[in-house]
Structure 1
Amino acid sequence: MILNDGSLWQTLVLNELEIPSVIVPQRGTVSASAVELSLILSGADIYLAGIDLSVSGIRTHARPYGFDYLFYGAANRVRPLYSQYFSRAWDTTGGGSLDVYAAWFRDRLKSWPKRIFSLDKKNTVFAPAPAEVKGGLREKFLTEETLTGNSACYPERALAVLFRALDTPDLAGTLSKELGALLFPGDPCPGVEEIKRELANCAKCPEDKNREQRFF
């Protein structure tokens, strides 16, 4: 199962490839996506660990943190690791992003089921976990899903459905905005042909140098 943020291009591709997915919109933080996915997958209580929405010293995230390797790789004698952590913690605190996330969660908790708890007693957003822990996943998400078709053809099929959509007037506008922002972040309005060409380049395999020619 794959996360689908609800965008047109992801929905088109996943439907074309018949890949099971669950819609979880982008929220600006993966913590929000994790909680929303848990609400979909689980019918029981949800317990959060490592989501305190605060900075601890110079630590902004629970360990292990996916971006730690970037700090390790960039560390040197004039910009040591701890200096990088300090700068990030300072920017995070000063930028107010954690306060924004906390406010968003507080607002959502008003409408979410009352089954989300924090294992961190210092958490000021989520209710503390009760002494008795309850579990249980919804069984329908525990069944094994077998993908149909030849996965080697997925890139070509994905390109084909996107190209057809880009040639469809009712879809082209929305799709161009979504894909243009991903493929050309510095260009506010790339053309359809530019988007097609870049998509083809992204999907090229080393052994298939002529893929782009087959779509134009």
Structure 2
Amino acid sequence: MLERLVSTGSGFPTVHVGDLTLHSRYNPPLEAEKYINSLNFREGVRFFILLEPGLGYTTQALRKKFPHTVILNIHVSDFFLRPEISSDSVADGVWSPGSGETLLHFLENHLPDTEAAAVAIVEWRPAQAAFGEVYLKIFAEIVEYIKRADANKRTMDNFGKRWFKNAFKNIRLLKKSLRYHPFFSPIVITGAGPSLEETIPILTEQKKYSSIFILAVSSSVPALLSAGLQPDLILTTDGGNWALLHLYETLRSKQKKAPAFAAAITAALPSQFAELPWLPISDGSLWQNLMLHSRGLPFAALPQRGTVTATALDLAFKLSQGPVYITGIDLGHRDIKTHARPYSFDRLLMGRESRFNPAYSQAFMRASSITASGSHGIYTQWFARQMAAYPDRLFSLGNNSSVFTERTTGILHPATGPVKETAATCNADVSRRIPREETVIPNEKSSTETVSAALLRALESGKTREILLQELGPLLFPGSSPVSAEAVREEIYTVCGVDHG
């Protein structure tokens, strides 16, 4: 599509896209100002996303009306980034298809999850008419991101304080830190969807003859172990106590070697983790990074996704430069079968079973509640976009969600990196070939005080104080705004159990 810069009689330029005009032919600034003033924004909007503002007249009008908000310009065409016409200087962030980063990454970097309710999308309707399908696809991706952020926000409101307490508890548990160096072996991510049962035989056979690395979300581990298949790394991110059931199943089982774990620093972890090596994961927030840096610990920084399987994909790309396969990520259920068997929560159903509360009925209610929550739909498109973003690296193994159909395979392909495979190395235990380190952490009695001191120092000055208040305020005091530094400080003292002096 050919965009052209055109002068108007009033001296203000406009743009022709084909036969359509993007701005007024007479007075574009006045047109934009009238449009912005006609919009009724809800109270509390602090972030504006302008979808294809063209030459920026709407951006300038919005900045004039809301001088203290964050404004993000999202361009459908790279034409508007040309130095001779760009007018994005009043925006706080600018993205276009040629920016060098995905729209998802741009939004993650500029919009905190905690602020989903404070975001408003401002559309420029002439741009929608001019760019059609391309415009609508970008609009849909923005809406999907905000829905996911809103879901994360609701979870945070319910579990934020528990996550904060978990973080301090887990810092005390972390006695052996695990670190991996990038490798080239294929990684298989196992979710706990029903389709995992069908692919376990493929994984078992492949594990005998080639170097694959199995990264299992904790809920999928009982099904793997029941088939005699031990994962190489187990991931847990859930902060709720029910997530401990999956980990208890893993720790009780008899395995050839001690299991290795990766865990969000906010996850619910059993006391046995004090004896095991595990890789801590930060969500990239300042408060979590400060806690881990203050202890001098190696860790992985991965965005908060709201679902462990999405975090597993981020972790897989960080660990390996080879192909990544997903299996057991159904993003749905089959009739009343919600997970691969055996599944840890099934014990709860059996324990509550009676004549008037049969396990079959409980399974039906569980399947219905999962469908009603809409959580699968929120993440379906996210995974579909990851498939599109990594066409040469990301594959679907077996009968996962239908969004992966075009990338489905029944076999695993060897790594294509510089590591040369030989008969000897292919038959070797993959854990001996994946470069990994275990660091024994000094048993400092003051670990909690060290961590709390780092957070308290950051609350004392400048920019770090503002960031911490933005992060910890909604976490510790959901629904309260604004939150003072003193209130956050008192909560740190309470959770840490340290003296104010």
In structure 2, the CA distance between the partners of 1:44 and 1:121, relative to structure 1 (3 Å rule), is same
Q: 1:64-213 maps to which residues of 2 (within 5 A)?
A: 65=343, 81-112=359-390, 114-126=392-404, 127-134=407-414, 142-204=435-497, 211-213=498-500
Q: Which structure has the bigger radius of gyration?
A: 2
Contact 1:4 1:23 (C-alpha < 8 Å) held by counterparts: yes
1:43 corresponding residue in structure 2: 321
Identity %: 38
Contact 1:41 1:141 (C-alpha < 8 Å) held by counterparts: no
Equivalent-residue separation in structure 1 for 2:413 and 2:457 (angstroms)? 50
Of the candidates 331, 334, 344, which is equivalent to residue 53 of structure 1? Answer: 331
Equivalent-residue separation in structure 1 for 2:484 and 2:352 (angstroms)? 37
2:126 corresponding residue in structure 1: none
Contact 1:42 1:138 (C-alpha < 8 Å) held by counterparts: no
In structure 2, the CA distance between the partners of 1:73 and 1:199, relative to structure 1 (3 Å rule), is farther
Pairwise CA distance, 1:113: 5.3
Of the candidates 24, 30, 48, which is equivalent to residue 302 of structure 2? Answer: 24
> Per the alignment, in what secondary structure is the counterpart of residue 499 of structure 2?
helix
Using the TM superposition, name which of 174-183 and 145-154 deviates more: 145-154
In structure 2, the CA distance between the partners of 1:139 and 1:55, relative to structure 1 (3 Å rule), is same
Question: What code does the residue aligned with 2:439 have?
Answer: T
Using the TM superposition, name which of 22-31 and 117-126 deviates more: 117-126
> Per the alignment, in what secondary structure is the counterpart of residue 144 of structure 1?
strand
In structure 2, the CA distance between the partners of 1:27 and 1:186, relative to structure 1 (3 Å rule), is same
Contact 1:58 1:85 (C-alpha < 8 Å) held by counterparts: yes
The root-mean-square deviation of aligned C-alpha atoms, in Å, is 3.1
Equivalent-residue separation in structure 2 for 1:74 and 1:159 (angstroms)? 42
Contact 1:47 1:129 (C-alpha < 8 Å) held by counterparts: no
Pairwise CA distance, 1:120: 2.2
Contact 1:18 1:147 (C-alpha < 8 Å) held by counterparts: no
Q: Deviations over 1:87-106 (max 9, x none)?
A: 33223323432122111111
Question: What code does the residue aligned with 1:5 have?
Answer: D
Equivalent-residue separation in structure 1 for 2:437 and 2:327 (angstroms)? 27
Q: Name the one with the larger strand percent.
A: 2
In structure 2, the CA distance between the partners of 1:188 and 1:95, relative to structure 1 (3 Å rule), is same
> Per the alignment, in what secondary structure is the counterpart of residue 193 of structure 1?
helix
Gaps of 5+ in 2: 1-278, 420-429
Using the TM superposition, name which of 113-122 and 159-168 deviates more: 113-122
Equivalent-residue separation in structure 1 for 2:344 and 2:473 (angstroms)? 27
Q: How many residues align?
A: 208
Gaps of 5+ in 1: 205-210
> Per the alignment, in what secondary structure is the counterpart of residue 403 of structure 2?
coil
In structure 2, the CA distance between the partners of 1:80 and 1:38, relative to structure 1 (3 Å rule), is same
Equivalent-residue separation in structure 2 for 1:140 and 1:157 (angstroms)? 36
Using the TM superposition, name which of 163-172 and 141-150 deviates more: 141-150
Equivalent-residue separation in structure 1 for 2:448 and 2:462 (angstroms)? 23
Q: Deviations over 1:26-74 (max 9, x none)?
A: 1121110011101111122222222111112223344455655666677
Contact 2:387 2:395 (C-alpha < 8 Å) held by counterparts: no
In structure 2, the CA distance between the partners of 1:17 and 1:128, relative to structure 1 (3 Å rule), is same
1:9 corresponding residue in structure 2: 287
